[in-house]
Structure 1
Amino acid sequence: MAIEQVVMPKGGESISEGTLNRWFKPDGAFVKADEPLFEMGTDKASQEVVAPVAGVVKHLVKEGETLPVGAAVAQIDTDAKAPAAGAAPAPAKPQAAAAAPAPKDGAIPSPAAARVLAEAGVSAADVKGTGPNGRILKEDAVAATTAKAPDANGRPPAEAKPAPAAPSAPPRAPGERVTREPMSKIRKTIANRLLDSQNTTATLTTFNEADMTAIQDLRAKYNDKFEKKFGVKLGFMSVFAKAAVEALKSFPLVNARIDGDQIVHQHFYDIGVAVSTEKGLMVPVIRDVDKLGFADIEKSIAAVAKKARDGKITYADLEGGTFTITNGGIFGSMMSTPILNPPQVAILGMHSIQKRAVVVNDQVVVRPMMYLALSYDHRLIDGREAVQFLVRIKDCVENPERILFEV
């Protein structure tokens, strides 16, 4: 019998461990080479791991277990042959009682939900998902496992009396005023990085505002034709991404980074776009934005945002980036001070559009206005450059033709 070991892969330079979120192949099943075998999750992202060879797979770990990089997760018997066409597949070996049973179609848990269910021994098939296409979210899993847990007196849930808390209140025992839960890996990582950013950079923020009339007129005039031709809507983000590139070309230090006592000049424009997901804020990167048209940028943003929200973002999607744009306006934010994403030295914050009275040609008029914020590392960027950089973005946004003709 020839046995091939399958190990937990290394997901990135700073990754030392991974969680086996779920198996794609049951124990005892035949797997083809390069066929998805399991999903690995870390504090950054999730990725599918394929079988290195063909054969019958034997699970060595359960769903939800966290292992160091290089630890064995499965064995594949390469001497075993694939079942003949039309033959009934061999029954899978029973899983250990603590492992979460495989979900039914349409009841696929997110990586975070899968870990909660696996730890509680609850089947995803018994959980109703509230996410897109019935996907089971973390809050669905928490609610399901809480409902199945015995009460404080050890009684099963069928015998337990309902707590008097209001339906919207988080699950807690009667009389408790404070409850605790451990921070997730992604939340701890986000917290540590934000703190590191504040402690290791000299961050300042400068503000300006942009009249969004020209962009709104542009969208109203061309969006239907644009969507019909390219299959994607003309959004604000592509305009801001192209405006950022023009500003970065004019002020190259904003596109640089600090490495020890050296300034690293980066002659490419990989723009990070902040995306809010169930697991937390992620910043997938759109590569070489200077070489992309508006449609390509919109398609790229939509693709990576969907991957992030579906839990399918890869490490390659998140690595690098020379500048970041975050849009708090989609949540109603009117003004904020974005935090830097090191080693980047600047980040642009977009906000909600609100009609305000402004003076144009000595006349008071009502215009759709957006506050813009640029946070920057004062160790590398002086205030004058930061202000001029933001003014350049404002000019490009208010005059989109400047982006089209690069003037």
Structure 2
Amino acid sequence: MSTEVKVPVLGESITEATLGEWLKKPGEAVAQDEPIASLETDKVAIEVPAPVAGVMGDYSVQAGDTVNVGAVIASIEAGSAASVPKAAADTAPKQEAPAAAAAPAASAATSAGNDMPLSPSVRRLVLELGVDPTKVTGTGKDGRLTKEDVIAYSKAAPDTQPAPASAEAAPVPATGSRGEERVRMTRLRQTVAKRLKSAQETAALLTTFNDVDMSAVIETRAKYKDLFEKKHGVRLGFMGFFTKAVALAARDVPAVNAQIQGDEIVYFNYLDVSVAVSAPNGLVVPVIRSAESMSFAEIEKTIGDFGARAKAGTLTMADMEGGTFTISNGGVFGSLMSTPIINPPQSAVLGLHRIEDRPVAINGKVEIRPMMYMALSYDHRLIDGREAVTFLKIIKEAIEDPARLLIDL
């Protein structure tokens, strides 16, 4: 008896997805609710759980195929892996047979490592660092390897890495050889490309800049970070200060937290901040709900949770939906200055950049201060230049004098 595996409901208005990868091979035993495949939607990767326990049957679709909600993608056969007919087991990839014959006494860790699929980014890092993935303990979901696992293993156990191949065993490509690699765009990357291009074609985009002296925030963090972490169990970061400052500025410049819908302007009396965080397949933007009413600790805990779940691939569609304003921190990657693009239908995005010591004039004297450039990209159809400049000025004043955040100035 077999049970069909169907594409689950993916979220409001989402009718199709791309099959990212199979997590179970035909002939392998699966437990009920165990992930057997991953689907890439317009926003996140979603795992497909096994509806019943049994043995993985044949695939109906392959990685890279587009599937609709409710479509059958595989089957699960009743019974255990040991009782599966040989014909079913033979549907597994043939190249594994030589490996099994060559290493019949492989350790449990090696077997687990060989059976666990690697994401493209982890696979690339493994090749770059020369790490044997079967010797690395995975800390991701279901024991999968993450990039952090590979990097930590590479740093902690350099002596266990494979010795460099000899000149005779490692042929060197001919000088001047050229090659290329074609990789199918993920559904997430396709959607990002379409939305950003749509923003350029639809909105009247303009960017205004300001710089901010980070001395006061850095001193505040240094003074209270240990107490803050001890009391709240989370580190005090810069994003909490900027989120609170945006909430403060949005009250005085409501157009920045508004949207054009048809021939109407919708002003929101709440601030749902989309924050860009890094995920294995690219940047995603989960939403901090009602940020204007949250404390520093609540904001930092929410952002930390988003970051951990993004790396583990467990963010949901509900985490991504909505958002009235976006904060993007390119500074964590070393960006000095940029012109971010708004995330439609939002009307503005605040870009943060790296902090660097620069000479500035303070009371007629030149001093070295930790400075950061801020960029506000906005839809000029809704937001005037005066409003954009005022918005950035309020944020600058709040960051340079954090007491303003406590007394609503």
Query: Unaligned 5+ residue runs, structure 2?
Result: 97-109, 125-131, 151-167
TM-score by length of 2: 0.76
The root-mean-square deviation of aligned C-alpha atoms, in Å, is: 3.6
The superposition leaves residues 242-294 of structure 1 with CA deviations (integer Å, 9 ceiling, x where unpaired) of 11111122222111112222222223211111123332222122222122211
Tell me: CA distance 1:251–1:277, structure 2 relative to 1, closer, same or farther (3 Å). Answer: same
Counterpart in the other structure of 2:183: 182
State the Cα distance separating 1:380 from its structure 2 match.
0.7
Query: Unaligned 5+ residue runs, structure 1?
Result: 117-124, 141-159, 166-172
Find 2:215's aligned residue among 210, 213, 216.
Answer: 213
Q: Write the distance in 2 (CA, Å) between the matches of 1:401 and 1:99.
A: 66
Structure 1 residues 6-405: aligned runs within 5 Å: 6-12=5-11, 13-19=13-19, 21-23=21-23, 27=27, 29=29, 31-32=31-32, 34=33, 36-52=35-51, 54=52, 56=54, 58-61=56-59, 64=63, 66-69=65-68, 70-75=70-75, 90=83, 93-94=88-89, 96-98=91-93, 104-105=111-112, 108-112=116-120, 135=145, 162-165=170-173, 176-185=177-186, 186-405=188-407
Structure with the higher fraction of residues in helix conformation: 2
Q: Write the distance in 2 (CA, Å) between the matches of 1:25 and 1:41.
A: 19
Q: Write the distance in 1 (CA, Å) between the matches of 2:384 and 2:3.
A: 57
The superposition leaves residues 213-265 of structure 1 with CA deviations (integer Å, 9 ceiling, x where unpaired) of 11011111100111111221100011111111111222221111122222222
Q: Helix, strand or coil: the match of 1:18?
A: strand
AA paired with 1:232? V
Asked if structure 2 preserves the Cα contact closer than 8 Å seen for 1:63 and 1:115, the reply is: no
Asked if structure 2 preserves the Cα contact closer than 8 Å seen for 1:212 and 1:368, the reply is: yes
TM-score by length of 1: 0.76
The superposition leaves residues 371-396 of structure 1 with CA deviations (integer Å, 9 ceiling, x where unpaired) of 11100010111111111111111111
Tell me: CA distance 1:59–1:395, structure 2 relative to 1, closer, same or farther (3 Å). Answer: farther
Tell me: CA distance 1:361–1:65, structure 2 relative to 1, closer, same or farther (3 Å). Answer: closer
Q: Write the distance in 2 (CA, Å) between the matches of 1:194 and 1:313.
A: 22
AA paired with 1:40? L
Asked if structure 1 preserves the Cα contact closer than 8 Å seen for 2:25 and 2:56, the reply is: no
The superposition leaves residues 351-406 of structure 1 with CA deviations (integer Å, 9 ceiling, x where unpaired) of 11122222233333222111111000101111111111111111111121221232
Percent identity between the two aligned chains: 44
Tell me: CA distance 1:60–1:67, structure 2 relative to 1, closer, same or farther (3 Å). Answer: farther
Tell me: CA distance 1:282–1:163, structure 2 relative to 1, closer, same or farther (3 Å). Answer: farther
Q: Write the distance in 2 (CA, Å) between the matches of 1:100 and 1:193.
A: 41
